[in-house]
């Protein structure tokens, strides 16, 4: 259903002829009249198509940086990069689900947003477990130069994603969720860059573990926001 409150018009889209729709509307006793009927070839509007196109671009950027950050994160022994790569992967999944949900019923969109939120929380819990493991069983200082350079490139990618998403004024739950994830990623990238400089100064793995922990806290907070949309 599409509501035009200013003109007091309700557009109802349905797949087959169903007199029950009119019967239910008339039962509200609001003095409504049928203005017109027409056949719609496709249910997805131009706005939905545009949102899908934007989400495809953002999905591609996040998938690319997931592979880049995960590979260099493992090579450099950086928990911050690994955490950010997992966050990128989760975001890519969110965007994929959002693309699938665009133009769908509100209940379907809400269900997709809920799945995305719980998935983010699950990844964050796995990240916390890995941080605890590194504190007690691994004491290797990460390569700070790799942390700084890769995070700087990821920052550029996320800034591009934010620019792309801001081109739409959609209030759809999944579009709003995508904007929240991307804004979180920008903050995370800056944090990893800062952690890289602190590792260089202190020659300790602690700044990397701290930023890894903060990344997963941000992920959990973002997921909670998604679940509230």
Q: Which pLDDT tens digit goes with each residue over 35-73?
A: 888 877 655 555 566 777 888 888 899 889 989 998 998
In a domain, residue 181? The reply is yes
For the chain, how long is the longest CA-to-CA vector? 75
pTM over 0.85: no
Predicted pLDDT of residue 11: 82
């994929």: which residue's tokens? 96
Contact criterion met (CB below 8 Å) for 162 and 117: no
Question: How many angstroms separate the CA atoms of 164 and 184, rounded?
Answer: 15
| Residue 151 pLDDT class (50, 70, 90 cuts) | very high
Q: Which pLDDT tens digit goes with each residue over 78-107?
A: 888 988 888 888 778 777 776 776 656 666
Task: Give how many domains the chain has, as a whole number.
Answer: 1
Q: Which pLDDT tens digit goes with each residue over 210-221?
A: 998 888 888 788
């941080």: which residue's tokens? 131
Q: Which pLDDT tens digit goes with each residue over 162-195?
A: 888 888 776 666 677 778 878 888 888 999 999 9
Query: Angle of helix 46-76 relative to helix 79-101, nearest 10 degrees?
Result: 160
H or E segment at 181?
A: helix 173-202
Here the tokens at position 191 are 């944090």
For residue 81, give its domain range.
46-228
Q: Is 77 left (phi over 0), alpha (psi -120 to 50) or beta?
A: left
Predicted pLDDT of residue 107: 66
In a domain, residue 105? The reply is yes
Predicted pLDDT of residue 192: 92
Predicted pLDDT of residue 195: 92
In a domain, residue 206? The reply is yes
Question: How many angstroms separate the CA atoms of 45 and 38, rounded?
Answer: 15
Q: Determine the length of the chain.
A: 229
Alpha-carbon distance values, 54 to 62, 131, 179, 196 (Å): 13, 34, 12, 32
In a domain, residue 58? The reply is yes
């Amino acid at each position: 259903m599409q509501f035009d409150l200013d003109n007091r018009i309700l557009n109802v889209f349905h797949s087959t002829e169903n007199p029950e729709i009119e019967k239910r509307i008339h039962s509200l006793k609001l003095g409504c009249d049928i203005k017109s009927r027409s056949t719609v070839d496709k249910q997805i509007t131009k706005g939905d198509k545009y949102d899908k196109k934007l989400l495809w671009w953002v999905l591609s950027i996040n998938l690319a940086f997931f592979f880049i950050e995960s590979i260099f994160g493992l090579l450099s022994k950086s928990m911050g990069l690994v955490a950010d790569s997992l966050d990128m992967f989760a975001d890519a999944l969110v965007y994929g689900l959002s693309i699938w949900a665009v133009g769908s019923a509100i209940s379907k969109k809400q269900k997709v947003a809920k799945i995305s939120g719980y998935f983010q929380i699950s990844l964050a819990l796995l990240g916390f477990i890995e941080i605890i493991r590194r504190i007690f069983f691994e004491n290797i200082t990460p390569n700070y130069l790799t942390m700084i350079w890769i995070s700087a490139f990821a920052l550029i990618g996320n800034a591009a994603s934010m620019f792309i998403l801001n081109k739409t004024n959609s209030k759809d739950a999944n579009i709003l969720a995508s904007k929240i994830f991307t804004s979180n990623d920008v903050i995370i990238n800056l944090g990893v860059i800062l952690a890289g400089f602190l590792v260089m100064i202190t020659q300790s793995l602690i700044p990397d573990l701290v930023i890894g922990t903060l990344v997963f806290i941000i992920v959990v907070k973002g997921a909670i926001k998604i679940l509230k949309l």
